[in-house]
Structure 1
Amino acid sequence: MDIKDLNKAQLILLAVLLSFVTSIVTGITTVTLMQQAPASFTVPVNRVIRQTVEKIQQVEGKTTVQTVIVKEEDLVVDALAKNKSAVFSVSKEILGLDGLPIEVSVGKGFAVSSDGIVVVDGASVFDKGIYFVKNDSGKFKAEFVSIDNIGFAFLKIGAPLDEKDKVSFTVPNFGDLEKIKIGQKILISGNTISSFIFDGNKDINISVAKSNSGSIVLNLDGDVLGMVLSEESSPFVSIDVIVNALNVINGENTLPATPVLAPITQ
């Protein structure tokens, strides 16, 4: 058959067939030549191929930056939730007017060590007695450990009142008051929640009801900065002072953080 006798459709099919056969022959020839070619030729070619692939992949995997706006109220909620299990309600047993024992609230406290040490306001927790601490995991007896001259004391979590309860708590991250900048918000979490704007004065003057003594003081990251005391002359104690006093109990320091740290007497 003469090629002149082919119609248009047949000519197109013939062209496609010839193109397909040519591409196969070209591919086989190229591979054969590459295998037989010296390294001085193949290495640059392979490098160009790799660079081309990398450039294509970088374009395909282009990273997009998305701006996320975090509201201050969300930071407050997260900071409080982060420390919820670290905070304890504190109570003690005293004798009532009728001579019978009654339980009264003595404020708040929060855990400062993984072995169950809780720091509390020392105005009502100043000696051995019958104490209790309570959080979401249950209610537990607490043993008096020591009181510091500044006005805070330490209790240690003991046995649960209900045998089915098992103590569970977190120890807050310790913040640094020196890093707080003027204008930043500081949170106070106790029986009530309040806040104030830091004015640069490290001797923070916080006025709270006695029922809120021992409240934890936080920054917006949820790091503890200190504790509220009911003592008017020194209503705030920073976390570094508390930690230094705790180290004295554990025998990690040779000098007390404050003038007096009275250990429990037998």
Structure 2
Amino acid sequence: MNDLNRTQLILLVLLVSFFTSLVTGIVTATLVTQAPSPITQTVSRVIEKVISLPPSQPSEPKQDSKPTTIIVTQEDMIIKMVEDSSSAVVSVVATKDLPVIEQYFVNPFENDEFFKNFFPSDVFPQFEIPQYRQKGTEKTKVSSGTGFFVSEDGFLLTNRHVVADKEAEYSIVMNDGRKYPAQVLARDTFQDIAILKIDSSEEKFNFISLGDSDGIKIGQTVVAIGNTLGEFQNTVSVGIVSGLNRNIEASDSQGNKEQLNGFIQTDAAVNPGNSGGPLFNLKGQVVGINTAIAQGAENVGFALPVNFAKKGLADVKEFGDIKYAYLGVRYRAVDSFDYGIVLVEGDNGEPAIMKGSPAEKAGLQSGDVILDFGGIRIGKENPLNILVGGRRVGEVVMLKVARGEEIMDIPVTLDEMPKTL
């Protein structure tokens, strides 16, 4: 009896173990089936929900919508930007009335009867001598560059050197071939900027938004559009910002030289004819005006920061011309620091503070050290003349000034530069 009980007990234990394993397997399988998706799937669903398109007809029964993944590449952004902006980029063409010269031939023996008869022109044309004379004048294209619309009512920006010839007539050639006469409203004396206008009250022009050139970064992608070589209109090139605050010396075809400060360096291809054209960021905003290239080097171009042009454009729209602010001081760099300027007399004893100037009205004194202008530290990358030139007449600017052991903030109201300076 004891043996039978032992056998039954063993069978009972085995049966219990079997059923326990079976139930555990079923429960485990059920829990695994109901377990959350892996974290990658969860993240995927969150993204899909964010970018899924809403149902087109809210009244229809709710259905499971398939997630829509939208990928925007840099190439897509550039294509879109060019499509939106290309019609606002134009060619600026200069024409002049130039003499038409014609060639004609004369018999050198015209006044000598003997030789004239002996060597008649119809028999000996090789003896005739070529001569030249003017036959009226003809409008002739003498140069071309690039410009771009900055308002729907026909205001344009370009480089000053594109419209430097005051005797020439200027016209705007659109991307679709349409042509308009243009008036040069202003040529900036201190920056390579000019402002043009098309008088066409019946038409509104596509224009480009001006970005903030102070916010650009080295390495960011930029796009240049221009009238390359004066022949290939609206040529597009892509590159990056290679450097900032570049100071260069530029020269024109006549050998005239000009110091340019604070420029953007880019490796986007900039060629003759691109001058005055826009340099875009990928948002389609203009951050620079293509101005110069380094001779003898490849992919080294320079663009004027567009913020330099904003003040002049605002002046022209308000006053009809560019007004220049001035502070009215003479100065030199501070030797003991890498920033700041000290107010000193001129070489011939001229006062450090000009009489009646904003500096005099603000109480500045000879020997004062101006450390920053409007919150910007004065130095090689931010010279005082550029900082003042970027401000409008009537603006109040805070100067940080060191006088002896004292550091003080002095507000100054900028006046218009006198014509005699």
TM-score tier after normalising by the smaller chain length: 0.5 to 0.7
Q: Which amino acid aligns with 1:249?
A: V
Q: Secondary structure at the match of 2:211?
A: coil
Q: Does 1:124 align with 2:255?
A: no
CA-to-aligned-CA distance 1:95-152 (integer Å, 9 cap, x gap): 4363532023421100112321111121131336411002137210011111012111
What displacement does 1:178 show?
A: 3.2
**Structure 1 unaligned regions, length at least 5:** 1-56, 161-165, 262-266
Following superposition, the deviation at residue 62 of structure 1 comes to 6.3
- Please list the CA deviations of residues 27-63 of structure 1 after superposition, one character each: whole Å capped at 9, or x if unmatched: xxxxxxxxxxxxxxxxxxxxxxxxxxxxxx9x94667
Q: TM-score, structure 1 length as denominator?
A: 0.63
- Matching residue's letter, 2:274: N
**Residue 82 of structure 1: CA displacement?**
1.1
Counterparts in 2 of 1:254 and 1:97: CA distance versus 1, 3 Å? closer
- Give the match for residue 27 of structure 2: none
**Higher helix fraction (1 or 2):** 1
**Is 2:199 the counterpart of 1:158?**
yes
Aligned to 2:289: 227
* Paired amino acid for 1:120: T
Counterpart Cα distance in 1 of 2:62 and 2:221: 43
2:98 to 89, 96, 99: 96
CA contact (8 A) 1:90 1:132 kept: yes
- Alignment partner for residue 318 of structure 2, among 245, 248, 251? 251
Shift of 1:217: 0.6
Cα distance in structure 2, aligned partners of 1:229 and 1:105: 15
Counterpart code for 2:197: K
Give the one of 240, 245, 265 matched to 1:205: 265
Shift of residue 205 of structure 1?
A: 2.5
Identity %: 27
Q: Is the contact between residue 277 and residue 289 of structure 2 (CA under 8 Å) also seen in structure 1?
A: yes
Q: Which amino acid aligns with 1:133?
A: I
1:173-195 CA deviation, whole Å, 9 max, x = no partner? 22223333443210001132212
What is the deviation of 1:92?
1.2
Q: How many residues align?
A: 199
- Per the alignment, residue 67 of structure 1 pairs with 69
Instruction: Report how far residue 171 of structure 1 moved.
Output: 1.8
Q: Which residue in 2 is equivalent to 1:142?
A: 182
Question: Match of 2:195, as an amino acid?
Answer: F
Give the whole-Å Cα distance in 2 for the aligned partners of 1:204 and 1:150: 14
Hey, which of these two has a bigger chunk of strand by percent? 2
Counterpart Cα distance in 1 of 2:200 and 2:217: 42
Q: 2:306 aligns with which of 224, 239, 263?
A: 239
Q: In the TM superposition, what is the alpha-carbon distance from 1:157 to its structure 2 partner?
A: 0.7
Query: Which letter maps to 1:258?
Result: G
Output the aligned Cα RMSD.
3.4
In structure 2, list runs of 5 or more residues that go unmatched: 1-58, 101-136, 228-234, 246-262, 295-300, 326-387, 393-421
Contact preservation (8 Å) 1:138, 1:167: no
Q: Distance in 2 between matches of 1:224 and 1:143?
A: 22
Matched-pair contact (CA < 8 Å) for 2:210–2:287: yes
Relative contact order higher in (CA < 8 Å, ≥ 6 apart): 1
Q: Which of 199, 210, 215 is equivalent to 1:179?
A: 215
1:30-41 to 2 correspondences below 5 Å: none
AA matched with 1:100: E
- SS of 1:186's equivalent in the other structure is strand
